[in-house]
């Protein structure tokens, strides 16, 4: 794999600084009392630079999620099952995908805790989170259809995986260390084994 160019590294650094500045400000003042101008000033970038990386303040809260989903999509497309996946096979794959997303989401435990609090306290962030979950389910449905899954499997498996994630998230109650195990436990309760087994 080739090393990112200097320009790409600078862009990533600027993006990371914007995210770090935003989370610092959200922790200090709360979400509502922070503006894009505040974030840009804290990150020492202009508003134009902010908008080059993020469409709005809400998107900073969900930074990284699109990358996770893109990576998940790539991994699923590379799997290429021998035949059309059955519902149990699709669920096993989505169990592994969902637990991988939990690992990514909690990599920075402090940021995860703050993000969960912000989503709980701000209805517009809760709405954005729900829309992102729907997009995840739609993306997984599309991949399953590409792999030859039946319409029922392609529709049902992502919704069950999403329900396991949301149940685990509720049980974890904002604890990053509990998220992954709680989600795994939800899949276990339904008798859904990992595809790695």
User: Using one digit for the tens of pLDDT, what is the confidence trace for 16-70?
Assistant: 999 999 999 999 999 999 999 999 999 999 999 999 999 999 999 998 777 777 7
pTM value is 0.86
Dist. CA 152–CA 146, nearest whole Å = 14
Confidence class for position 156, pLDDT limits 50, 70, 90: very high
Question: What are the distances in angstroms from CA 38 to CA 21, 48, 121, 188?
Answer: 9, 13, 20, 45
pLDDT tens string 75-133:
766 766 678 999 999 999 899 889 988 998 999 999 999 999 999 999 999 999 999 99
Give 124-133 pLDDT, tens digit per residue. Answer: 999 999 999 9
């Amino acid at each position: 794999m080739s090393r990112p160019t200097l320009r790409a590294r600078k862009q990533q650094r600027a993006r990371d600084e914007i995210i770090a500045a935003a989370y610092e400000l959200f922790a200090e003042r709360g979400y509502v009392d922070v503006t894009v101008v505040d974030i840009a000033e804290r990150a020492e970038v202009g508003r134009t630079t902010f908008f080059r990386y993020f469409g709005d303040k809400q998107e900073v809260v969900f930074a990284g999620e699109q990358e996770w989903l893109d990576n998940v999509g790539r991994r699923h497309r590379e799997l290429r099952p021998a035949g059309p996946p059955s519902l149990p096979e699709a669920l096993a794959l989505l169990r592994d995908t969902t637990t991988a997303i939990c690992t990514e989401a909690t990599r920075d435990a402090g940021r995860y805790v703050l993000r969960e609090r912000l989503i709980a306290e701000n209805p517009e962030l809760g709405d954005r989170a729900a829309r992102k979950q729907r997009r995840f389910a739609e993306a997984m449905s599309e991949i399953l259809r590409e792999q030859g899954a039946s319409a029922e499997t392609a529709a049902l498996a992502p919704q069950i995986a999403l329900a396991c994630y949301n149940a685990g998230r509720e049980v974890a109650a904002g604890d990053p260390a509990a998220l992954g195990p709680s989600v795994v436990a939800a899949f276990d309760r339904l008798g859904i084994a990992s595809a790695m087994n």
